[in-house]
Amino acid sequence: MLCGITAMLLTPLAIGQVAQPATPASQVLWYDNPAQNWEAEALPIGNGRLGAMIFGAADKETIQINEDSLWLGNEKDTGMYQNLGEFEVALPRAKPVTNYRRELDISRAVHTVTYTSDGVTFRREAFASFPDQVMVFRFTADKPGSHSGTLTFKDGHDAKPVIAPNRLTATGILQNGLQYESQILVINDGGTLAATPAGITFQNVTSLTLMAGAGTDYLNQRDKGWRTGEAPHRKVTEQLDRAAKRTYAALLAEHLKDYQELFNRVRLDTGKTDAAIAALPTSKRLDNYKQANVKDLELEVLLYQHARYLMISSSRDRLPANLQGLWNNNNNPPWRSDYHTDVNVQMNYWFVDQANLSECFRPLAEWLYSVIPVRRDDTKREFGTKRGWMTRSENGVFGGASYIWVPGDAAWVAQNIWDHYAFTLDKEYLRTRAYPIIKELCEFWEDSLKEGPGGKLISPESVSPEHGPKAQGNSYEQQLVYDLFTNYIEASQALNVDAEYRKKIMALRDRLLGPQIGKWGQLQEWMADLDDPKEDHRHLSHLIAVHPGRQISPLTTPKFAEAAKVSMNARGDGANGWSRAWKISIWARLHDGNRSYKILNGMVRGQFTQNLFDQCPPFQIDGNFGYAAGVCEMLVQSHMGFIHLLPALPDAWPTGSVKGLRARGGFEVDMAWADCKLTSVTVRSLTGKACQVRYGGKTAEQTMKPGTVIRLRGDLSRY
C-alpha cells in the first residue's frame, strides 16, 4: 500500500470551498439529479485540447474523456474523430443522498457536485486547465477520511491500462499508426492507495485529486508525415508531474485567471428573469420556457454565454472545434464528427471575433493552412487544375476528404479567414495566412470561371449544397466568388502588394453574374429560375450574400434584400438546429429583429437538450455557435464598413446593455438601450482606424488613435 503524493496537496479543499459570489442565472447550468445520458444530460469541460463529459452520480462518478487529435484517417481517407476513454470513481454509499446539486459555472469553467449522505457533506470540483494542460477532478468532504472506493479506466480502443498505486496509464496505436496515451494521476490527503488488477483503490481518504492528461503524436505538418516523431508518453508524464507539484489552490487560481481573461470580456443583459423561474434547475427552466406565457430572458443570455464557454473550451491553439466541438463518446460518430465545409465549420466560427474571442479563431486558420497541400494535390489529380484547390464537404485532420466535391466550399472557409483579419487588423496573420490562402483561391477561380449569357462570368456546373440539381452559375458559388474577390482586393491593398493582379481581380469581379430575382420575387438559387416556392430545405446557400457575406443589404441593395425576404419566407422559420441558427443571423442582416427573435425563441423551445447542447439532431455544436452569432448580429453589425448599432433589436429586449462586443476595424463596443432606443455607446479603438457609427438613420464619423475611447449619447452626439 502507498499513501500517495500527499505532500503536494496537503490541505483539504478549503480553498476550493471558499464562498463564491452567487453566480447569475445567466451564467450557470445546474440540476438536482445526476446525468444518465451522455448527449442530453452530461456536462462538458475542456481546455481546447482535452475534454471531458461528467455525469455526477453520488455513488459512481463517470467521466468520459477526449483528446482533440485522436483521429483515424490519412491523406486519402477523411477518417473520424475518436473516443479516448472513460474512467469511473466508484464511491459506495450505504445511506441515502440528500441536498444533491450538479452544476457547471460557465463564468469560472468549473463543474461542481455537492450532496449530503450520512451527515457528511461531499463536494467535487472539476476543471480543464489550459495553462497546465491537465484536467483536474477534486473530491472532498467536511469530515476527514470520508472517501473510500475504486478508480477504474476503460480505454476507448481497448488498450489495457498499466496500473501503479497512484497512476493509471493506457497506451495505444490506432489503425492509421497514430500513437496515443492517457494517464490519470491520483493524489490523496490521508488514507491509503493501492493498485489492484482492476484499478486503484483508496481507503479513508480525506481528499482525493485526480489529474488526467493525454496526448498523441499528431503534428499538423504534412512535410513531417503528420507526426511529431516521438511517442506522447514523455510529454504527458511531464505535464502531469509538473501540475502535481503545485497545490490545488494554485492550479485553480491559474485556470480561473486564464479562462476569465477571455470569458469576462463580454457582458450581456437583455432583461431580468423572474426570481422564482431563475432559481429553477436548468432542465426545468427549459421546460418552463416552452410555456407561452413564461419569459426567461436570462436563459436566452445563458445560451449565448454558454456558446462562448464551449468555444473557449474547444478551440485553443490546437485543432478547431469540429461538429461536436471537442466532445465525442463514439468511435463511429455521426458525420465522422468532422469538419464539414458546406456550412458547419464556417458557422462554428462566425461569432468568435465578434464575441471577443479572437484567440480561439487561430486553430481554424492553422488547420486549413495545414491541409491545403493535400487538397491542392487531390484537386490537380482529379480535375487537372494548374492552380488552386477545392475540397470535398467532409474533411479530416490529415488532409483526407470525402463526400462530394463542392468548389465553393473552399471560398466559404476563406471568407472566415478574411473576416478574422477584418476584426483584428493583424497584418502578420494577413501576410502569412490569410493572403496566401485567398490569393490562391482567386487563381483557381480565375482559371475556372466560364463566360455565360451576356458575357457574364459564371461558375462551372456544380451543386447548391445538399440541394437541387447540378448547374452552372449557381448562386452559392457566384456569391462566394464575389466575396472572395472583394476580400482579395482589400487584402492586397492592406499589404500594398500585387497591384496588377488586384486590377485583374477587380475586372473579373465586375464581370461576375450577380444575384437574380425570379418569377415569384425570390432571390434565385440558380442562374435559371428553378426555385420552388414550396421548398423548405434546410440549406440557405443562395442567401450567403446576405449573411455571412456583404453583397446584399437593405441599405445598399434594397430590391435584392426584399427578394431575400421572399426566399426566407418560403424556407420558413423551422428546420434543424444549425439551419434555424443561420436564419436568426439572416433576418438580423435584413434588419428584422422580431423575426430573428421569433426563430431564436423557437430554437430555445425545441432545439436544446437539458445540458444545452444543440440537436441537429443528433448533437451538433454548430447550432450552439450559430445561435451566438445570431445574437451578435442582432446587436452590432460591421460588415458594411461602419459600426451599426442595434440593427435588429427585438421588442422582447426593450431594455438592456452589452459590453465588449467587437466590430470590424479593430473596435470594441459597449452600449445600453431603454424602451428599444439606444441611450449610450462607448467605442474603443484597438488599432487607430477611423470609424463610422450608425444608429437608426444617423451616422457619426469619428477620427481615432490606438487606445482612443469615444462616448456617445443615443443620438450619437459626444458626451
CB 377 within 8 A of CB 398: no
pLDDT computed for residue 1 by the predictor? 31
Whether 159 contacts 172, CB under 8 Å: yes
Helix (H) or strand (E) holding 125: strand 120-129
pLDDT at 230: 97
Q: Are strands 643-645 and 691-695 parallel, antiparallel or unpaired?
A: parallel
At 670 the pLDDT is 98
Question: Which pLDDT value is given to residue 702?
Answer: 84
| Interval 515-574: pLDDT, tens | 999 999 999 999 999 999 999 999 999 999 999 999 999 999 999 999 999 999 999 999
Name the pLDDT band for 703 (thresholds 50, 70, 90).
confident
pLDDT of 65-100, one tens digit each? 999 999 999 999 999 999 999 999 999 887 899 999
| Edge-first strand listing for the sheet containing 267-269 | 267-269, 656-663, 667-674, 677-685, 709-713
Q: What local confidence, expressed as pLDDT, does residue 16 receive?
A: 37
Residues 184-194 have pLDDT tens digits of 999 999 999 99
What are 164-176's pLDDT values in tens digits? 999 999 999 999 9
The domains of the chain are located at 26-263, 667-713
Report phi then psi at 500, rounded to 5.
-70, -40
* Chain segment 362-384, per-residue pLDDT in tens: 999 999 999 999 999 999 999 99
- For the segment 247-266, the average pLDDT, to the nearest whole number, is 98
The DSSP H or E segment spanning 33 is none
In the block, residue with C-alpha cell 439532431: 617
**Run of H or E including 442:** helix 435-448
Residue indicated by cell numbers 489492484: 196
The class of domain 26-263 in CATH terms is mainly beta
Using CA of residue 167, residue 48, residue 281, residue 265, what is the dihedral sign? Answer: positive
**pLDDT at residue 20 in the model:** 52
SS (H, E, C) 330-353: CCCCHHHHCCCCCCHHHHHHCCCC
List Cα–Cα distances, 153 to 63, 88, 330, in angstroms. 10, 6, 16
The answer, yes or no, to whether residue 19 has pLDDT greater than 50, is: no
Report whether pLDDT(13) > 60.
no
Contact (Cβ atoms closer than 8 angstroms) between residue 89 and residue 149: yes
Count the helices and strands in the chain (H runs, E runs): 16, 31
pLDDT digits (tens, 9 = 90+) for 23-63: 888 899 999 999 999 999 999 999 999 999 999 999 999 99
Q: Is 223 a residue whose pLDDT tops 50?
A: yes
User: What is the average per-residue pLDDT within 404-410?
Assistant: 95
Q: What is the pLDDT of residue 508?
A: 98
Strand partners, 443: none
DSSP calls for 281-339? -HHHHHHHHTSTT---HHHHHHHHHHHHHHHHHH-SSSSPPBTTBT----SS-GGGG--
Average pLDDT for the chain = 95
pLDDT more than 90, % of the chain? 92
Burial of 299 (0-12, 13-18, 19+ CB in 10 A): buried
Q: Is the pLDDT of residue 351 over 80?
A: yes
- Name, in order, each residue with C-beta under 8 angstroms of 500's C-beta and a sequence gap of 6 or more: none
The residue-averaged pLDDT of 276-305 equals 94
User: Among residues of the chain, what percentage have pLDDT more than 70?
Assistant: 97
| pLDDT of amino acid 21 | 55
Name the residue among 429, 276, 304 with its Cα closest to residue 361: 429
Alpha-carbon distances, residue 14 vs 128, 139, 141, 249, 539 (angstroms): 20, 12, 10, 9, 52
For residues 341 and 403, give the distance between their C-alpha atoms in angstroms, rounded to a whole number: 11
What's the pLDDT score for residue 93?
80
Contacts of 220 (CB under 8 A, 6+ apart): 226, 319, 366, 367, 370, 397
Cell 491509503 belongs to residue: 192
Q: How far apart are the first and last CA of the chain?
A: 71
- Residue in 599, 588, 598, 586 with CA at minimum distance from that of residue 644: 588
Do 491 and 438 meet the contact criterion of CB atoms below 8 Å apart? yes
pLDDT in tens, 587-620: 999 999 999 999 999 999 999 999 999 999 999 9
For the entire predicted model, the pTM comes to: 0.96
Give pLDDT, residue 14: 35
